[in-house]
Amino acid sequence: MSVAAESPSPSLSSLSDEDDFADFLDAELELISAADSASRGAPPGSPSDDEDEEEEDVVVDLDAVGKGSNKRRRVEEHRQDQGTATRPEEDVIAGSVKDAQIKKCPPHPGFFGGLCINCGKSQDEEDVPGVAFGYIHKGLRLGTSEMDRLRESEVKNLLRERKLVLILDLDHTLINSTRLHDISAAEMDLGIQTAASKNADDPERSLFTLQGMHMLTKLRPFVRKFLEEASNMFDMYIYTMGDKAYAIEIAKLLDPGNVYFDSKVISNSDCTQRHQKGLDVVLGDDKVAVIIDDTEHVWQKHKENLILMERYHYFAASCRQFGFSDQSLSELMQDERESDGALATILDVLKRIHTIFFDSGVETALSSRDVRQVIKRVRQEVLQGCKLVFSRVFPSDCRSQDQIMWKMAEQLGAVCCSEVDPSVTHVVAVHAGTEKARWAAGNKKFLLHPRWIEACNYRWHRQPEEDFPVPGLKEDKGKEKVAEDVTCH
Ligand SMILES: [Mg+2]
Ligand SMILES: [Zn+2]
């Protein structure tokens, strides 16, 4: 198999029990994939004098499933005609099936094309286990224990390559899309539709018409560089609540050479829970997965893996949908900056996470490291050394400690408290007239708006305090006395 041929690892020649299934699945999928592409019409005119090289470019969706490298794997149609360097598929499958038959069913390890991959029983007659991996291959379903085994071997391979897993949301994270009939009058006047269909050959262009979908899509500035650099550190998945056809179209825009994602494009039909995204359909462990998404609530179970993105709104309809009445970037003919926009910022964070994961903590075995701990640690560096007091920011009938801003500040490494003392560094307020706000002014402490905390959270960096003034600072100074609310903690 190409896996065996590609991999330099000597352990592959003596497959452990755990490897049997992965091997079997590799073989199965490659065969079927090859058959699929043959029936679609395999690329004609392949050079026949170079058969021991990968010449057919039939891409198989094995990155997520398999073992061996996580480079794209290819199937050579004429492999069976070759020498001993690669084994004929039939032998491999026969061998694996023979080995697999030693295990008992049920529980069935998984189903492929409606049949148990171990005993061959039909899925319809049995309790169907586990999770469907339709994005890897239609009709693939894996039971829990086999999933765990595949995950384990996949993670082992990734770590050997100094890679983690990166899950990327599409809308408002890497791109912004709008329906054609939602284009605003101003956008229309600026000729946005014409612009989207121009310069089709320009590799740098970022505005596209999605043919057949009546949509325009704008790539977020810096996204190409982001993917290129992130791909050196991560095995990447797209994970969107959009539908499959849309996800695949966008994947083509982001990854025209199909070098980053291959089949690892997960869409709404793959989710196992309504309105929730889960790592259960990703063949990487929670311990190595970093998620980049602008929507927090869909990752209920995986908040520790999540890096929350500042939303990218380019089109007017997108702004309106989220309640912004200002002109959109498209209407202003502006955009996020490449150099210090959201994706450049997050790329730096990813680099730091990657470095800490692999290069610090040498005393801990790779396999027992947890990227969630690293994310936590990097997040806590942001407001390290800051001591915050909140002044009338929260409703008085609730516990301050339970409020989002309080928790966010703590996650960023700040110490939060309810009363002022000399060690306090920042007073957070929405109005400058409060007693604590006055105290801040009198004691040369920072007085700032809670938006500062949010900005620090998105930017992963302590933001300049002076950019977040509290309204009423000048005009109300000394005039208005607002009683300090001390019941709110
Ligand atoms: Mg999104
Ligand atoms: Zn079975």
**Domains, in order of start, for the chain:** 2-160 (no CATH), 164-354 (3.40.50.1000), 387-467 (3.40.50.10190)
Q: Over the chain, what is the mean pLDDT?
A: 80
Q: What value does the mean pLDDT take over residues 254-260?
A: 96
Q: How far apart are CA 122 and CA 111, in angstroms?
A: 8
Tens digits of per-residue pLDDT, 46-59?
333 433 333 333 33
User: How remote is the CA of residue 111 from the centroid of ligand 1, in Å?
Assistant: 32
pLDDT at position 23 is: 58
* Banded model confidence at residue 361, pLDDT cuts 50, 70, 90: low
* Banded model confidence at residue 257, pLDDT cuts 50, 70, 90: very high
User: How remote is the CA of residue 170 from the centroid of ligand 1, in Å?
Assistant: 6
Half-sphere exposure of 423 (CA within 13 A, CB side): 8
pLDDT at position 272 is: 87
What's the 3-state SS for 113-166?
CCEECCCCCEHHHCCCCCEECCCCCCCEEECHHHHHHHHHHHHHHHHHCCCEEE
- Which ligand sits nearest to residue 238's alpha carbon? 1
Q: How far apart are CA 433 and CA 248, in angstroms?
A: 53
- Which ligand sits nearest to residue 97's alpha carbon? 2
**CB 149, CB 219: distance < 8 Å:** no
pLDDT at position 251 is: 97
* Banded model confidence at residue 363, pLDDT cuts 50, 70, 90: confident
Sheet holding 115-116, edge to edge: 115-116, 110-112, 140-142, 131-132
User: How remote is the CA of residue 123 from the centroid of ligand 2, in Å?
Assistant: 9
pLDDT at position 47 is: 38
End-to-end CA distance of the chain: 64
pLDDT at position 106 is: 79
Percent of the chain scoring above 70 in pLDDT = 74
- Which ligand sits nearest to residue 294's alpha carbon? 1
Q: What value does the mean pLDDT take over residues 337-357?
A: 96
* Banded model confidence at residue 387, pLDDT cuts 50, 70, 90: very high
User: How remote is the CA of residue 146 from the centroid of ligand 2, in Å?
Assistant: 12
- Which ligand sits nearest to residue 108's alpha carbon? 2
* Range picked from 91-100, 200-209, 264-273, 419-428 for highest mean pLDDT: 419-428
pLDDT at position 107 is: 84
pLDDT at position 123 is: 83
User: How remote is the CA of residue 125 from the centroid of ligand 2, in Å?
Assistant: 11
Out of 134-143, 212-221, 473-482, least confident range: 473-482
Residue 175 corresponds to which tokens in the numbers above? 């791109």
Percent of the chain scoring above 90 in pLDDT = 56
pLDDT at position 396 is: 87
CA 461 → CA 153, 160, 345, 382, 448, distances in Å? 36, 31, 9, 5, 16
Whether 434 has a pLDDT exceeding 70, the answer reads yes
- Which ligand sits nearest to residue 120's alpha carbon? 2
Out of 103-117, 152-166, 180-194, 412-426, least confident range: 103-117
* Banded model confidence at residue 22, pLDDT cuts 50, 70, 90: low
pLDDT: is 98 or 125 the higher one? Answer: 125
Q: What value does the mean pLDDT take over residues 389-396?
A: 92
Question: How many residues in total does the chain contain?
Answer: 489
User: How remote is the CA of residue 279 from the centroid of ligand 2, in Å?
Assistant: 25
- Which ligand sits nearest to residue 241's alpha carbon? 1
pLDDT: is 20 or 374 the higher one? Answer: 374
* Banded model confidence at residue 60, pLDDT cuts 50, 70, 90: very low
pLDDT: is 430 or 77 the higher one? Answer: 430
User: How remote is the CA of residue 462 from the centroid of ligand 1, in Å?
Assistant: 25
Tens digits of per-residue pLDDT, 217-244?
999 999 999 999 999 999 999 999 999 9
**CB 192, CB 330: distance < 8 Å:** yes
- Which ligand sits nearest to residue 308's alpha carbon? 1
**What's the pTM?**
0.77
Residue 397 — φ and ψ, nearest 5°?
Answer: -95, 20
Ramachandran area for residue 361 (φ above 0: left; ψ -120 to 50: alpha; else beta): left
Whether 1 has a pLDDT exceeding 60, the answer reads no
Whether 289 has a pLDDT exceeding 90, the answer reads yes
CA 169 → CA 237, 247, 298, 316, distances in Å? 9, 10, 11, 21
User: How remote is the CA of residue 126 from the centroid of ligand 2, in Å?
Assistant: 9
pLDDT at position 102 is: 55
* Banded model confidence at residue 360, pLDDT cuts 50, 70, 90: confident
